[in-house]
Amino acid sequence: MDTRAIPTPAALAPPEGYDRGRWETAVLGSGLHRNSRVVAFVLAHYADADGRLPAGGIQHTGRLVHLAKITPKQARLSITQLETQGFISRPDMATWEAKDVVRPVALVMPARGRRPVESHTDEPS
């Protein structure tokens, strides 16, 4: 007898708030630095249909440097800006046990009315 639980429709639904077209439109209309936009589109390209990138995926700084043609510092700043502005979410670094594996990323829609954070200030426009 099969004792596995049957998933509910809610459990099978993608995370609320992610639609790639809407997400990309929000990225384009944001005040994100151009490097952050490039990183955002790289992440979107490799994300699954639910907007998720698994732990250890392309969100690793070394992979982003290669794919987005930016420096390691620019990659780290871009990921931080995307997270700060609410375009991505990651598990808290303090609670992430696998310190040798890059944390997973979920692409999410920023909350409405969120005040934009200033873009990178140490890079020329």
- Give the mean model confidence (pLDDT) for residues 94-106: 88
Q: Can you give the pTM of this predicted structure?
A: 0.75
Q: pLDDT tens, 105-119?
A: 999 998 875 444 444
Mean pLDDT of the chain: 83
Residue among 101, 87, 92, 13 nearest 43 (CA): 87
Tell how strand 52-53 and strand 105-107 pair up. antiparallel
Q: Tell me, yes or no, whether 60 lies in a domain.
A: yes
Flag whether pLDDT at 15 surpasses 50.
Answer: no
Q: Tell me, yes or no, whether 37 lies in a domain.
A: yes
Domain carrying residue 58: 16-90+101-107
Tally of structural domains, the chain: 1
Q: Tell me, yes or no, whether 113 lies in a domain.
A: no
- Neighbouring CB atoms inside 10 A of 115's CB total 5
- 74: domain CATH number is 1.10.10.10
